[in-house]
Amino acid sequence: MHIQVSTSGETVGGSRYRTLGRLGAGGMAEVDLALQNGVAGSSRLCVLKRVRRDLVARAEYVSMFFEEARISASMNHPNIVQIYEVGGDEHDCFLALEFLRGRSYAHVLTANSGKVLDYRVDLEVMLATLNGLEHAHQRRDLSGEPMRLVHRDISPPNVFVTYDGEIKVLDFGVAKTKNSQVQTEAGILKGKAEYMAPEVVAGEPFDARADLYAVGVMLWEAT
């Protein structure tokens, strides 16, 4: 990926972050490379995720964003992208995440299309993804009650492989828990249809096993 790095970008979160360049944009959010300023002149690269500016005035998108922030900030696992900070308000909300040097698993598959890969690479990706999901699925709230978290969008674009060999689950933007404050409207599917469990497509109740089904589809594609 090539980005045009700026040395005089936008400041976010007071003066704690300065954007350096656009990494991408999706249906709800914009993602920028940024510099996080710390104490005593320390700094580090990070990723800022914010609600798209044309959507920030729409309450439903802001609610979805804060739902993602609430869920993501509750997790800490080597196979899940790390959240540094949740900040802002309903007019300028942001997530500060660790900057990962590498490629999505989808990019790895595309780059090696037509080649015979060592199956152990795919298995390593699947096992790491399952480890991250196990952590997410077993999360409990502050009262000790199971959160019953479901990612809902496990797929190759949302699994990241770093150049150092780390594997991270990304993007809990459509995840849900038993106490989710954002409810999906009837007839609306969130996620990628080709990785959805049958009960999800049918609009029936589902649980964490839907994420395991998605990993199964990824494994089937890999083999």
Residues known to be catalytic: 153
Give the three-class secondary structure for 109. helix
**Residue 186 per-residue DSSP state:** T
- Find the angle CA(7)-CA(12)-CA(14) to the nearest 5 degrees: 110
Beta sheet of 43-51, edge-to-edge order: 11-12, 17-25, 29-37, 43-51, 94-98, 83-87
Encoded amino acid at 73, one letter: A
Neighbours of 71 (CB within 10 A): 21
- CA torsion, points 108, 159, 205, 144, in degrees to nearest 10? 160
| The pair of three-digit structure tokens given for residue 161, joined into one six-digit string | 């492989």
